[in-house]
Amino acid sequence: MTGPRTLHLTVLEQGGGTETIVKRLCRNVPEFHHISLEKLGAYPDGLRGYLGALRAIRAFRPEVVFCYGARSHLIACAAWPARGPALVGNIRGEIDFLGTRTLVYRLADRRVRFWVANFCKGLGGNRGVVIHNGVPEPPPGEQPLLTGLQPPVIGLLANERPMKGHRFLLDVWRHCRPAGTLVFAGRISPALRKEAEAEGIVCTGYVSAGPLLRSLDLLALPSASEGFPGVLLEAMSRGVPVAATPVGGIPELIHDGQTGFLVHRREWSNFLSRPESHPLKTVGLAGRRHVRSRFTERRMIERFRKAARLATAGRGVSA
């Protein structure tokens, strides 16, 4: 393969929303030499895993590196402290865990913001560029997976990980006891499933995202940290209103009260107590228009090709 070596700093076998988007991107741009962390045999889990990832990345010597979320930006900073490949991020914003940054992130913040923002300075003269994730149009005739549930139907669609907020949302649900139905979709542990079902929460397991999203009146994503969640794009492209914590790149997608709802963790109980007080339908339609105009798969692919070609032509990367 003669195309530029492009490294995606993600583990595609995790199978999340962004991973699905990256897989589609690689299929649609076959002329480039794509590789991701698991193909390098590197899993950034713990100190030994991070050191292994750095060694494998340097040995591969990519020409363009694509970062997805806060952790991959930090890996990129550590891997190339001096002259290096062109770096492309999928978020502009600062790392911010629930509005409170630790001392480590305070110290790293200035440098991390350089990597994820489209500043003029860069390694080897290259500018960092941001290419937001994009999704294709939903397939025609897509039908809801769930029917007959008490509305409003509120769903959390994510595989269980501490950052995704399953237990947090379960505790909120217990506390406020709102009208409607809460759905957990995705891979969750037997212990969490048992606890959730005891509270009347519907647990579907791993299901196709589109039909599940068609079943919802609201998608909830109370994450503690995020990059640029693909599930929000998938929901908004279908006109499903979304509510999410303002972390990672989420504020770059959601305009609060217009294309979705930004809800700090301390506000989730109040937000869910009266879902009928929020203009869900209006916001859902605005969110769909927003995604169709700015966050399409076609736009993402076009910008990807441009960034990689400019980088390998030695002219740097521009926005």
Q: Which of 66-70, 113-117, 215-219 has the highest mean pLDDT?
A: 215-219
pLDDT of 83 higher than 50: yes
Q: Which residues contact 30 (CB under 8 A, 6 or more apart)?
A: none
pLDDT at residue 37 in the model: 76
Helix (H, G, I), strand (E, B) or coil at 31: coil
- DSSP codes of every residue in 32-96: SEEEEGGGGT----HHHHHHHHHHHHHHH--SEEEE-SHHHHHHHHHH-SSS--EEEES--SPP-
Other CB atoms closer than 10 Å to residue 12's CB: what's the count?
Answer: 18
Between the ranges 44-48, 73-77, 215-219, 314-318, where is the mean pLDDT highest? 215-219
Buried b / exposed e across 140-179, counting CB within 10 Å, b at 16+? eeeeebbeebeebbbbbbbebeeebbbebbbebbeeeebe
Sheet holding 64-67, edge to edge: 33-36, 5-9, 64-67, 86-89, 129-130
Position 116 scores a pLDDT of 39
Specify the higher pLDDT residue, 117 or 280. Answer: 280
Beta strands, E only, 235-297: 242-244, 261-262
Matching residue, tokens 């076609």? 298
- Confidence (pLDDT) at 240: 98
State mean pLDDT over 170-198: 94
Average pLDDT over residues 56-82: 71
What are 259-301's pLDDT values in tens digits? 999 999 889 999 998 877 789 999 999 999 999 999 999 999 9
Domains of the chain: 5-134+296-312 (3.40.50), 153-294 (3.40.50.2000)
**Residue 33: φ, ψ to 5°:** -90, 95
Tell me the pLDDT band of 52, cut-offs 50, 70 and 90.
confident
206-242 tens-digit pLDDT: 999 999 999 999 999 999 888 889 999 999 999 999 9
pTM of this prediction? 0.82
The pLDDT tens digits of the residues spanning 237-269 come to 999 999 999 887 898 899 999 999 999 988 999
Please give the structure tokens belonging to residue 279: 């203009």
Query: What percentage of the chain carries pLDDT values higher than 90?
Result: 44
Q: Using an 8 Å Cβ cutoff, are 19 and 11 in contact?
A: yes
* Cβ contacts of 209 within 8 Å, gap of 6 or more: 17, 157, 231, 234
- Pairwise CA distance, residues 38 & 16, whole Å: 15
Residue 126's pLDDT is 40
DSSP state of 207: -
pLDDT the model gives residue 46? 64
The Cα 318–Cα 289 span in angstroms is 27
pLDDT mean across residues, the chain: 80
Q: Which residues of 64-94 are buried (b: 16+ CB within 10 A; e: fewer)?
A: bbbbbbbbbbbbbbebbeeebbbbbbbbbbb
Can you tell me the distance from the alpha carbon of 270 to that of 247, in angstroms, rounded to the nearest whole number?
19
What pLDDT score does 41 carry? 66
pLDDT band at 127 (very low <50, low <70, confident <90, very high): very low
For residue 71, pLDDT over 70 is answered with no
Q: Which two tokens stand for residue 189?
A: 């542990």
* pLDDT bracket for residue 200 (50, 70, 90): very high
Is the pLDDT at 100 greater than 50, yes or no? no
Whether residue 145 contacts residue 212, with contact meaning beta carbons closer than 8 Å, is answered with yes
